[in-house]
Copies of this chain bind each other. A is one copy, B any other.
Amino acid sequence: MTFLSLDHANRIIAAALTRGQELGLKPLTVAVLDPGGHLIALQRQDSSSNLRPGIATGKASGALALGVSSRKIGEMAADRPSFVGALGTIAPAGIVPSAGGVIVVDADGRVIGAVGVTGDVADNDELCALAGIAAAGLTAQA
C-alpha cells in the first residue's frame, strides 16, 4: 500500500495550480486529504474567496465518504437531492456534489487519499485535480 506523503501532496498541488495557469483559469484552491478525510496540504491562490478551502476539502472528503468522485456525487444529487443533502448534515466536513474531488488509489486500487479543487467551473477544477495526481506519479480512481 503506497502512502500519500506530504511530498506527494505538495507536488499534486503545484501541478494542479500550474495546469490552472496554463488553461487560464480563475484563482484556485487545492486540498489534498488522507484516506480518513484529514488535510495533508492545502493552497489557496490570491483572490480565491474565503469558503474555497471548505469547498475544496468538502469535494475531496465527500468523495472519500462515499467512495466515488464528487462528479458522481453531483450526478447522485441531481437524481436524489434529499439523499445527498441528508448526507451533508452527517459528514463533519460536508459533501460538495460537484466535479473536482477525485480519489487517489495505489497500484492495488486501495484508497490512499483524495484531491479537491475549486475556483473555476467544475469540469476545469477536475482537470486540474487529475493533472496534479498524474504529475505526482499517482493514480486517480477510475
Contacts and interface: CB of A to CB of B under 8 A. Distances in A.
Interface of A: 1, 3, 5-6, 9-10, 34-51, 53-55, 58, 64-67, 74, 77-78, 80-98, 110-111
Given A48-B67, A83-B97, 20 more contacts: A3-B46, A5-B46, A6-B43, A6-B44, A34-B35, A39-B42, A39-B53, A41-B41, A51-B65, A51-B66, A54-B91, A55-B87, A58-B86, A77-B82, A82-B97, A85-B86, A88-B89, A88-B90, A89-B94, A90-B93
Contact of A98 (B49, B83, B97): B83
A5 B51 CA distance: 16
Given A45-B6, A86-B58, A91 B51 contact: yes
How many copies of this chain sit in the oligomeric assembly?
4
Contacts of A48: 67
A36 B39 contact: no
Contacts of A37: 36, 50
Nearest to A41: B43
Contact of A42 (B36, B41, B97): B41
Nearest to A53: B39
Contacts of A58: 86-87, 90
